[in-house]
Amino acid sequence: MNKLLIQRRLATLFLAALTTLSGAVLAQTSQNSLSATAIAAELPDAARPSPRYLLQNGSGRAILSEDFREHFQLIAFGFTGCPDVCPTTMMEMQQVMVALGERAKQVQPIFITIDPERDTGPMLDTYTRNFDERILGLTGSLELVRWAAKNFNVQFEKVREPGAAPNVYTVDHTADLFLLGPDGQLVAKLAYGTSVKDILAEINRWIDLNDRLPKK
């Protein structure tokens, strides 16, 4: 059995296991959750998705969306070869984390590559740390990256000039920022170009709502 087939089978098994695990975690956190109370009060008719991912950090360790329960997650999709959009987003993420002060401990910033064929784990580590050491870079097989992107409604597509070598291309992609609550539900989608001031205000607003929830 070749290596590619093994990777695909492992990815399929991981997805099945993650679906089962996520269902159990969601059932356990349905009570006393940010989305079940604070969000419901603000948008009673809104259905809040819980986008999931199963990827790897720079050391190759598996990272699940459920690993950051009790924290907010500020997530961006992009790639290290991105000439302008991604560096801008990363600088904004860094500025937000600094401006949050002590509250930054409640937020996990994440950068998910949509170019796993070129963005290795070590490359992502170097890239994210150039902006802020707290930003976690995640990669994985193309299948798992596509699955994560689909869950966030993120679109991406290679763009290659005619006659260019196979590894010479750029990637068009959705450039929004996504904020997940401590229960894993999507609480805010921030369009590319949203100011740092407005991003910060939105995160602080949700932290304030979460702080008012009864604690276990």
**Mean pLDDT within 185-212:** 96
Q: Is residue 66 one of the residues assigned to a domain?
A: yes
Closest CA to 155 of 114, 116, 191, 109: 114
Torsion sign (Cα): 102, 103, 104, 108: positive
Q: Is residue 60 one of the residues assigned to a domain?
A: yes
Q: Is residue 216 one of the residues assigned to a domain?
A: no
Q: Is residue 32 one of the residues assigned to a domain?
A: yes
CB 180 within 8 A of CB 51: yes
State the residue range of the domain holding 207.
Answer: 3-211
- What pLDDT does 163 receive? 85
User: Cα torsion for 19, 23, 28, 32, to the nearest 10°?
Assistant: 100
CATH of the domain at 59: 3.40.30.10
Question: Tens digits of per-residue pLDDT, 47-74?
Answer: 678 999 999 999 999 999 999 989 999 9
pLDDT greater than 60 at residue 9: no
- Count of domains observed in the chain: 1
Q: Is residue 137 one of the residues assigned to a domain?
A: yes
Q: Is residue 90 one of the residues assigned to a domain?
A: yes
Which residue type, as a one-letter code, is found at position 68? Answer: F
**Mean pLDDT within 152-177:** 91
Q: Is residue 114 one of the residues assigned to a domain?
A: yes
User: What is the rounded average pLDDT for all residues in the chain?
Assistant: 84
Strand partners, 55: 63
Closest CA to 111 of 71, 145, 162: 145
Q: Is residue 117 one of the residues assigned to a domain?
A: yes
Token pair recorded at residue 210 = 């979460």
Would you place residue 105 in the very low, low, confident or very high pLDDT band (cuts 50, 70, 90)?
A: very high
